[in-house]
């Protein structure tokens, strides 16, 4: 069975040494009394829950999967899942970053994200059940009526109830403007909702007393397309005025999807046959309200791959140290053994360092974004809140797509380290690969994220937000201009910043003549910006490490960090040259292909 050591030392480095999280959070009235010891203590206990409770269930969930009773439409989760969820709720973990007004602990969002990285590393399928509840909570907290908040938020906060998002239908995936689910007004102001939804994660299960479904549907007079979508809250069990559960609502699981991975999570086909729901937000404005949950989910999916990258790396590294095979090309290293550990081989090191660099770089990026969300929610200065929200909007598609692409590459590389053993179930590596693959698809495919970044977030405002991030890069470059030790990290970063500015201008001009140029360039463009962002954080991490070593520290952690930074810039960052060449190749080689695709 795989092992997992919560990466607390690197989390502490990222939170406290790189980002100065406590000083940033103390500027927010909601977190004015927060201290470093509190953050560290919570993470330590969270790591224990992840490694001791969830990790042993990961392989169990993969083997057993979920089971649907076709007569009752009830779903049974794998052995141990329900008990683990009860322990999660009893420990107060569900309420960690929720509003104290609804029973939450009011701790920072960034702390919850670090905790969830560890949950995802140890059991992504299980973590999806409470993870989706956070999105439902955020959506209702932002757009729910006072009555909806009173009914649902305290239950979602405590974890007594869980939540889902019901968007996709059999005939439409990303193109939600095509959805057909109908909502008919009822005399009491509620709605009877009928239709079919598919791919609904955690849509039915036995872990909580009630499931709060957020459902997109159309009112009878709704305009066509995405402008005619409304959002409704539809509970599995109707809720009585006193808050107790009433009769079963007319929404049920009609089937479970048989999936490549995340077997422990119930991915459901949900049937609504006049299910009673109430309107969330304004009529025909449901997509905007649902985006609160969708964007939270996109950040959560990036976090899933971050967790899988870390756990895959840890297990591959341990295996590479223990497995002996062949001799080093430069001469025997373990002369007392019949062969050397495979860790001596350059390509094994390349695969391991790829996963390590993507895990640590992704953690720095994800933590930065989570701190921006804390500022967006709680900073007393309205301008800071707006600036933070704008930067979160830019970074969200990058976190979702760049980190999940990297996670799939990393888990594949770590499986390869195991050789044939990686293909065998008992080692757990092939499960990480299968689980990681879904993260490139759901909550908006990575191509959709790329189109969002280039089309909306960059060209949509003439690159204004990207230039704001560019100012961070420029400030770091200027600060380190005369520091010879920083040159290996700063020179490539500065060059890419200049090249990206020119390339973006070129793309904008070409897109005005041919919109297909955006579609042809988008995926590579997101990856290019992803490297700019990750290189910025790797350069900053190298800067912190160099300063700490110069101050007299002999902690090997900092040499470790510098060697990983050197690897990232030498071996992974050069991908940017190929990306720029492909982007400049344009759309002709893709679109002028009638004969090739006949």
Active site residues: 443
User: ∠ at Cα 574 (572, 578), nearest 5°?
Assistant: 115
If you search the block for the tokens 């990297």, which residue do you land on?
406
If you search the block for the tokens 């895990």, which residue do you land on?
359
* Contact criterion met (CB below 8 Å) for 280 and 140: yes
Dist. CA 134–CA 156, nearest whole Å = 8
- Phi first, then psi, for residue 269 (nearest 5°) are -95, 115
Neighbours of 55 (CB within 10 A): 20
* Contact criterion met (CB below 8 Å) for 174 and 158: no
| Residues 355-388 as b or e (16 or more Cβ within 10 Å = b) | bbbbbbbbbbbbbbbbbbbbbbbbbeeeebeebb
Pull the structure tokens for residue 40: 């560290």
341 bridge partner residues: 324
* Contact criterion met (CB below 8 Å) for 160 and 90: no
DSSP secondary structure code for residue 598 in this structure: -
281: left (phi over 0), alpha (psi -120 to 50) or beta: left
If you search the block for the tokens 């990983």, which residue do you land on?
564
**3-state SS track over 536-596:** HHHHHHHHHHHHHHHCCCCCHHHHHHHHHHHHHHHHHCCHHHHHHHHHHCCCHHHHCCCCC
Stated length of the chain:
598
Pull the structure tokens for residue 205: 């299960």
Which strand (E) or helix (H) includes residue 89?
helix 81-90
The number of helix segments (H) and strand segments (E) in the chain equals 19, 11
If you search the block for the tokens 């086909």, which residue do you land on?
269
* Contact criterion met (CB below 8 Å) for 403 and 395: no
Which strand (E) or helix (H) includes residue 523?
helix 516-550
User: ∠ at Cα 181 (184, 215), nearest 5°?
Assistant: 90
Q: Report which of 393, 135, 159, 107 is spatially closest to residue 280, judged by C-alpha positions.
A: 135
* Contact criterion met (CB below 8 Å) for 310 and 121: yes
């Amino acid at each position: 069975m795989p092992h997992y050591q919560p990466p607390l030392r690197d989390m502490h480095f990222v939170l406290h040494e790189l980002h100065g999280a406590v000083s940033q959070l103390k500027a927010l009235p909601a977190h004015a009394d927060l201290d470093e010891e509190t953050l560290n203590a919570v993470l330590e206990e969270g790591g224990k829950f992840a490694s001791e409770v969830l990790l042993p269930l990961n392989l169990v969930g993969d083997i057993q999967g979920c089971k649907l009773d076709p007569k009752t439409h009830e779903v049974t989760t794998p052995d141990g899942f329900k008990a683990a969820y009860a322990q999660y709720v009893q420990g107060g973990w569900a309420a960690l970053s929720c509003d104290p007004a609804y029973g939450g602990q009011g701790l920072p969002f960034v702390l919850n994200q670090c905790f969830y990285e560890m949950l995802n590393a140890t059991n992504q399928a299980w973590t999806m059940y409470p993870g989706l509840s956070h999105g439902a909570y955020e959506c209702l907290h932002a757009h729910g009526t006072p009555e909806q908040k009173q009914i649902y938020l305290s239950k979602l906060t405590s974890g007594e109830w869980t939540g889902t998002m019901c968007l996709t239908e059999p005939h439409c995936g990303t193109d939600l403007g095509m959805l057909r689910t109908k909502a008919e007004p009822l005399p009491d102001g509620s709605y009877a909702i009928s239709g079919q939804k598919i791919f609904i994660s955690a849509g039915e299960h036995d872990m909580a007393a009630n499931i709060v479904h957020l459902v997109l549907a159309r009112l009878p007079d709704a305009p066509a397309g995405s402008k005619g979508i409304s959002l409704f809250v539809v509970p599995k069990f109707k809720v009585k005025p006193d808050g107790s559960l009433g009769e079963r609502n007319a929404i049920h699981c009609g089937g479970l999807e048989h999936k490549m991975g995340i077997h422990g999570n119930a991915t459901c086909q949900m049937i609504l046959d006049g299910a009673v729901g109430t309107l969330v937000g304004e009529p025909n404005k449901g997509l905007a309200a649902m985006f609160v949950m969708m964007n939270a989910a996109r950040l959560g999916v990036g976090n899933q791959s971050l967790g899988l990258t870390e756990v895959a790396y840890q297990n591959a590294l341990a295996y590479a140290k223990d497995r002996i095979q062949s001799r080093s090309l430069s001469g025997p290293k373990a002369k007392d053994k019949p062969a050397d550990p495979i860790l001596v081989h350059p390509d094994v090191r390349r695969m391991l360092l790829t996963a390590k660099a993507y895990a640590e770089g992704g953690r720095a990026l994800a933590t930065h974004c989570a701190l921006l969300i804390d500022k967006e929610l709680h900073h007393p200065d309205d301008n800071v809140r707006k600036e933070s929200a704008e930067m979160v909007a830019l970074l969200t598609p990058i976190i979702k797509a760049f980190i999940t692409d990297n996670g799939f590459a990393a888990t594949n590389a770590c499986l390869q380290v195991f050789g044939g053993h990686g293909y065998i179930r008992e080692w757990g590596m092939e499960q990480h690969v299968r689980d990681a693959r879904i993260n490139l698809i759901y909550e908006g495919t990575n191509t959709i994220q790329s189109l969002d970044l280039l089309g909306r977030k960059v060209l949509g405002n003439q690159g204004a937000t990207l230039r704001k991030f560019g100012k961070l890069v420029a400030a770091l470059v200027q600060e380190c201009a005369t520091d010879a030790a920083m040159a290996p990290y700063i020179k490539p970063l500065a060059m890419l910043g200049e090249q990206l500015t020119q390339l973006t201008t070129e793309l904008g001009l070409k897109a005005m003549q041919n919109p297909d140029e955006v579609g042809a360039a988008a995926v590579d463009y997101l990856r290019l910006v992803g490297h700019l962002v990750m290189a910025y954080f790797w350069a900053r991490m190298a800067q912190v490490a160099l300063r700490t070593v110069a101050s007299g520290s002999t902690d090997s952690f900092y040499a470790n960090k510098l060697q990983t930074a050197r690897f990232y810039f030498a071996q992974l960052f050069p991908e940017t040259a190929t990306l720029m060449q492909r982007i400049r190749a344009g759309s002709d080689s893709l679109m002028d292909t009638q004969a090739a695709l006949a």
